[in-house]
Structure 1
Amino acid sequence: MALTTIAPTVTKNGASAATYDEILEWLKTKYRAIYGEDVYLEADSLDGQFLGVLALEFTNVGAACVQVYNSFNPKTALSDALTRNVKINGIQRALATYSTVDLLITGTPGTAIRNGVAGDASGNKWILPTLITIPSEGTITVTATAVNAGALLAQVNTVTTIVTPTRGWMSVTNPNSSSMGQDVESDSKLRQRQALSTSISSMSQTEGLRGAILDLENVTRCKTFENDENVADENGLPSHSLCVIVSGGDSQEIAQLIASKKSMGCALYGNTEVTVINSYGDAKTVSFYRPDIKQISYHVNLTSNTSYSADTADIIAESLATYTNSLDIGDKITQNKLIGVTNLYGAEQSQTYEVDSISIIVGGSTVTGDYILPFGCVAFCDASGIAIEVING
């Protein structure tokens, strides 16, 4: 059916706009009505090309109008529009945070280290506090911050390089692995948190607790598990207990929220204990769970064609690492989704190869098929550790 107008419309079903082909046909109809039916308007004519330019711009305008309409809904809004929308729920998009690591500094007592920098085995740099003075014991533990924002993993005893040599500073190491930061919160994560934020004052105390914790600064993931039975469950939760698993955030703030929102008489289960003071001035121990990190890698086999370029492997590795690091606590890594991520759908490079197989590697061991993260675990993947084997087709 011929269009009566090419202007975007808003109806009870939402906003809609005409397609490029519909607009071009409408313009041709109007043009012929003015200059005659015998006018030639195909793509190889000057007039036809001019109408094509107009149709393309009208299409872009229509798409922009629909996007503006959709930007008022958190479910369809993108980037800045979504950031503005969620403010009505009293939340905001989480900004990128920096990974931190505790460093054991050894040196001559009295040595002053100014603007010190340490490096790890992966080439990442960690900035020490502005001024450190080594005490009489000859050692001091300080917290260093990564130069770059995002999730950077430094395994135990891998931060051992003194990047800024200082007389009297002898060695550096990290007795524990780093606490990973996060990238800027994605639209999908923010939509999920916006939906949960509406549950903060709901009838379900557990959902309300989770929504409130996710709204805390630097909290990147949160899951809750309840055991209503009279015996321990398969995850090891004692009977009638609640386990709150939280990645990121301040421990004191998390513990205060749990203490104020958990059900009366409900036991708490976790690997971290924090003492808080209740409204009556009494000390109370709150337990919650800090997730363990599972190192994930992949071995990818590709068949390439003549258009394949060497940097495509780096793009694939970054795509797989980004996908893996965005997984939630206890998520399932499926072959189906991995193939979709590896194929780089929509990218120009996706036409230059075929994915033959993907192997999931956990802690150095190859997993057959899909892999489910154990209870209380989150995945971390370093793109540089992904092996991509290419066979010329």
Structure 2
Amino acid sequence: MGKLTPQGYVADQMDDIFDEFVKGLKGIYGDDILVDADDPDGEFAGILAQMRADVEGVILAIYQANDPDNATGVWLEQKVAYAGVERRDASYSYLRDAQIDGDAGKIIKAGFIVKDPTGIQWITETDATIGSDNTVLHDFRSQDPGQFVVAAGVSLDIVTITSGVDSAKTTEQSELGYEEETDPQLLSRFYKSRSKPSQNAVDGTVGDIFAIMGVIDVVALENYSDSVDENDVAPHTVNYVVDGGDQNAIAQAIYNNWPGTGLQGAVSVQVVRPRSGRTVNILFDRPMAIDMAAQITVGRRKNFTSIDTAGIQSNVTSMVFGIGESVYQDDIVDEIKKTPGCYVKSILYGRKGSTLTDTPVVQMGAVEKPRFLSGDVAVTVTDE
């Protein structure tokens, strides 16, 4: 069997295992037995060796899965749980203040379903009553968790046919949910949360915030100077920018490590001081989502081959960016290359609504977080 060494578990290799079985068979039947691959004794030794090698492989996989760097799936979840970190589940998207038209006084029960033009269904979670002006504004939640984009002013098809309800439409762009946290994202958040035993309050605060359920990313913008810095952070102030997570838990984490220096942010949460019972306002920011757009042109490597343009779109929209992280054209190229049979001819990209250009990088501000949504990535295949 393999051995535990100071360097870790060392599994026996297939050739060594086979030789060991051959030696055992010769000890029983004599040295003159034939153990070539096409001889019965050789085949028998090979079968036993393969079974043993499979067991060695399982033992090695279990050993490696105890290291967070090698663990995946449930194994990784078990390891990060020791640090109080849990995988972030997918969350729902919402249509806020969607307009429903119909008969005045009509009560629309919870569970009323509409469908957007892409076929995604949305459901009400509470009752709503149509007002005297024959309309009511009400929230819808996506039936399935995930990131679903619906623009403002889009007509919605009524799935739950209800007497007295005529039509429905959005009044603002959908509030996007999140996809389930991937293994690399979970591992990254786990390591960042381990900065708790740090040597300064800011690192400890960032570590505590990362450990909060639902937090995706955290950036601490510090300004030690006597004047406003390039990130618009006030003198001797920290601006925590947090994506995801409950705002009360975030504020408490900041307060627990707060040395009393300046805080900055658009989100203000009152935290009760444990001794005096008085409240203090804890400030932090949420990142500003920056919608990106791309026009991608690819060519076929071979004539008459099908190119999975939907796969290219999916790969690009699945790109995950951090707060303040710029968008590099090379990273988009890497995502396109995951689709077989094509090569990149051109990429025009930039902030949605601006002129798209062929540029190596699109810079982001310190509190900006870029994203590609499915409707903003166009892929064209040419044979020229």
Aligned AA for 2:323? Answer: I
Cα 1:319–1:230 shift into 2, 3 Å? same
The answer on whether the counterparts of 1:302 and 1:357 sit within 8 Å (CA) in structure 2 is no
Matching residue of 2:213: 217
Matching residue of 2:179: 183
1:194 to 190, 194, 200: 190
Per-residue CA distance 1:302-351 (angstroms, 9 max, x = gap): 333268434x33223222221x2x2221223323333332222xxxx63x
Cα 1:166–1:275 shift into 2, 3 Å? farther
Q: What number of residue pairs does the alignment pair up? A: 376
Superposition pairs for residues 1-393 of structure 1, below 5 Å?
7-17=1-11, 41=37, 58-107=52-101, 108-114=103-109, 115-136=111-132, 138-158=134-154, 160-200=156-196, 202-266=198-262, 268-279=263-274, 280-298=276-294, 299-305=296-302, 308-310=305-307, 312-322=308-318, 324=319, 326-344=320-338, 350=340, 352-364=341-353, 365-367=355-357, 368-383=359-374, 385-392=376-383
Per-residue CA distance 1:257-289 (angstroms, 9 max, x = gap): 3334333032x2223334444444444433321
Helix, strand or coil at the partner of 2:88: coil
Aligned AA for 1:301? Answer: V
In structure 1, stretches of 5+ residues that fail to align are 1-6
Cα 1:221–1:178 shift into 2, 3 Å? farther
Cα 1:387–1:20 shift into 2, 3 Å? farther
Distance 1:54 1:158 in 2: 65
Aligned AA for 1:341? Answer: E
Once structures 1 and 2 are overlaid, which stretch shifts more, 88-97 or 172-181? 172-181
Helix, strand or coil at the partner of 1:75: coil
Helix, strand or coil at the partner of 1:217: coil
The answer on whether the counterparts of 2:297 and 2:382 sit within 8 Å (CA) in structure 1 is no
Aligned AA for 2:241? Answer: I
The answer on whether the counterparts of 1:104 and 1:139 sit within 8 Å (CA) in structure 2 is no
Aligned AA for 1:354? Answer: Y
Q: Shift of residue 392 of structure 1?
A: 4.8
In structure 2, stretches of 5+ residues that fail to align are none
The answer on whether the counterparts of 1:291 and 1:377 sit within 8 Å (CA) in structure 2 is yes
TM-score, with length taken from structure 2: 0.82
Q: Shift of residue 230 of structure 1?
A: 1.0
The answer on whether the counterparts of 1:196 and 1:207 sit within 8 Å (CA) in structure 2 is no
Distance 1:146 1:21 in 2: 55
The answer on whether the counterparts of 2:292 and 2:376 sit within 8 Å (CA) in structure 1 is no
TM-score, with length taken from structure 1: 0.80
Distance 1:213 1:340 in 2: 32
Q: Shift of residue 301 of structure 1?
A: 1.5
Per-residue CA distance 1:95-149 (angstroms, 9 max, x = gap): 2221223124344332111221233344322211242223456554433211121
